[in-house]
A and B are shown apart, each in its own frame.
Chain A
Amino acid sequence: MKFFTKEAENLCNKLIDNANAFMFYLDNKGIISMCNKKAENLTGLARKDILGRNWADVLYGINSTDIKKQIFISVMEDSVTYQRNNNFESLFCDSKGREKFISWNITPIASDNALDGTLLIGNDFTQLKAKEASHKKIDDTLKNIFASIREYALFVTNLQGKIIYYGMGSEAMFGRLKKEIIFQDAAALFTEDRKSDLSFIIEQVNQYNRYEAELELLKKDGSKFPVTLTVSRFLDAEGKVKGYIFIAKDITERKKLEYQIFQAEKLAAIGQLAAGMAHEINNPIFVISGRAEMLLESDGLNQKARSDIEIINAQADRIRKLVDSLLKFSRHNSKQLQESNINDVIDGVLPLIAYHKLPSHEVKIEKNLALDLKPVKADLNQLQEVFLNLFINAFQAMPNGGKLSITTKNIAGKFVQIQVSDTGVGIDDKHLKDIFMPFFSTKKEGTGLGLPICYNIVKDYGGDMFVETQLNKGTTFTIRLPFA
């Protein structure tokens, strides 16, 4: 049966041989009657050893029980039986043992509904597959990197502000799972003030291409936290704006630190001012008191004048004491450093409470002092001042009686921690940030210098002091001082 001229047949064979695909032609019994050069390369067999053999035996070996061989055979049977095109992708070991991904196309060839044979064409897509795999690896690595980031959150919205991507630390930062927020309005992550208003931000990005600000965002539980937020446009390949990319960095810790620095600077400035002021006040007070006392010593004063002068003297004395506290606050005096055991300091100070006018209701004192407490290096007078202040405060916070607990222990291998807790009235949230500030007092006769003096002393020794409180439940002051 000759369809072509000799030239045409030669050309046809040439084309087939040079085709960049593995080509086999099988007769209707599955015996290979023709193949090309690439097919020889694939099987590692010469054409004469391929032709006349069953296709599956050539590709997989006669004795192969490879499951892929079975599947391939059934796909081939489907094509032959129903005379339809089929595709089959398979990992295939070539004659040199190299794994190749081959995509096979099975085309039955029939005339008058009778199957003449089947054309089997395979394309090697090993390299493509390797590329895909390496892309997947990069994708996975990126995914892992993104998933590991906690300080940043990255999410993307569409033009309508609906979240279309919610990844990279977003779940951790907002406390909301992806499934809870995806395709929802991103406004849910923003607070209600103008600065954090989502539509305002988008307006800014549209106008200036970019938006960056420090603001507060919302967690799922409704709490706010500070972030630096950068928003830019999300562009497609043609440069068309498809949405907005939001990158938020949690700056809670930085804000805390900034506040502490601000507080410390403020205290230092007030301290300096106090020292200068103290000197200027002491002189006139000295004169007022001196003159008042001289008057009181003179004869012929009537009772009214005497009592008025006594008032002047008493008030001058009050100012003098205040100035003394100010001087203590500004730490103008040099310190006598010595190694001290805080437990001893506490035991030494507790009896002194009796000398202060304190509420007479019963206060139970409970001490949990660590026996192995490490010494600290500090001025004993200053330490006494700190604890006396704290104990007096605790007593004053419990006008109806209660419990004063004092606990000491070593922590983190480098600090002595002292906790002074009362079961008193607690401190109102709105006052909390001011309690270490000079002249802040909620007490009628407080100078507002007690806690600032304590705070300054503790900070001066490289320690730390903080407070936890609950209204009507009590307050705990925690002090940490470094080991000597």
Chain B
Amino acid sequence: MSYKVLVVDDEAPVRELFGELLKKQKCDVTCVAGGDEALLVFSDKDFDVVLLDIKLVGISGLEVLKKLRDKKEDAVVVMMTGFGYDDELIAKSKEYGCSGYIGKNMPISQIMSSFKMFVSAAKEKGKK
């Protein structure tokens, strides 16, 4: 996969797990705990994809998504949540331009394959 990935989640064990899982997939991973930090780092480094938790302490995931897209119109952002599949949150995320959505209630293998699928689809779209 070898993408540059920014993982944003306020729970350390979650972002560390994602970090390790993605590193195993040969990704270059940066993990941050909150929205403000994410927005700062995002400007410094040219990330291929941001994996962003919807529920964050402080500035919300949806707000971060909006600001990331403001900064970079074609930013690829995949949202994630512990709420499972939630129509309302998905609709909102889509409206703000997210590339995909994964629930932390899915099995890990499924999470990773969904993530890959969303990113490659977004990249394909970007090329066109």
Contacts and interface: CB of A to CB of B under 8 A. Distances in A.
Interface of A: 275, 278-287, 289-291, 293-294, 317, 320, 323-324, 327, 332-334
B36 interface: no
A283 B88 contact: no
A280 B82 contact: yes
Nearest to B109: A293
Contact of A289 (B81, B84, B85, B108): B108
Given A279-B83, A282-B82, A290 B105 contact: no
Interface band, chain B = 20 to 34
10 contacts: A279-B55, A282-B103, A282-B105, A283-B13, A287-B13, A287-B14, A294-B20, A323-B105, A333-B86, A333-B87
B123 interface: no
Contacts, number: 66
A289 B11 CA distance: 16
B17 A286 contact: yes
B107 interface: yes
Given A333-B85, A333-B86, A324 B105 contact: yes
A282 B84 CA distance: 8
A132 to B, nearest CB: 77
Given A284-B13, A317-B107, 9 more contacts: A275-B83, A279-B83, A283-B104, A293-B108, A320-B107, A332-B83, A332-B84, A333-B86, A334-B91
A291 B17 contact: yes
Given A286-B14, A287-B17, A290-B21, A278 B104 contact: no
A289 B88 CA distance: 26
A291 B85 CA distance: 22
Nearest to B103: A282
Nearest to B15: A287
A261 B20 CA distance: 50
Contacts of A286: 14, 17, 82, 104-105, 108, 111
Contacts of B105: 282, 285-286, 320, 323-324, 327
Contacts of B24: 294
Contacts of B85: 333
A294 B109 CA distance: 10
A282 B53 CA distance: 13
A278 B14 contact: no
Contacts of A283: 11, 13-14, 82, 104
B82 A289 contact: no
A287 B18 CA distance: 9
B104 A282 contact: yes
Given A279-B55, A283-B14, A290 B84 contact: no
A4 to B, nearest CB: 116
Contacts of B81: 279
A333 B85 CA distance: 7
Contacts of B84: 278, 282, 323-324, 327, 332
Interface in B2-24: 11, 13-14, 17, 20-21, 24
Contacts of B87: 333-334
Contacts of A278: 82-84
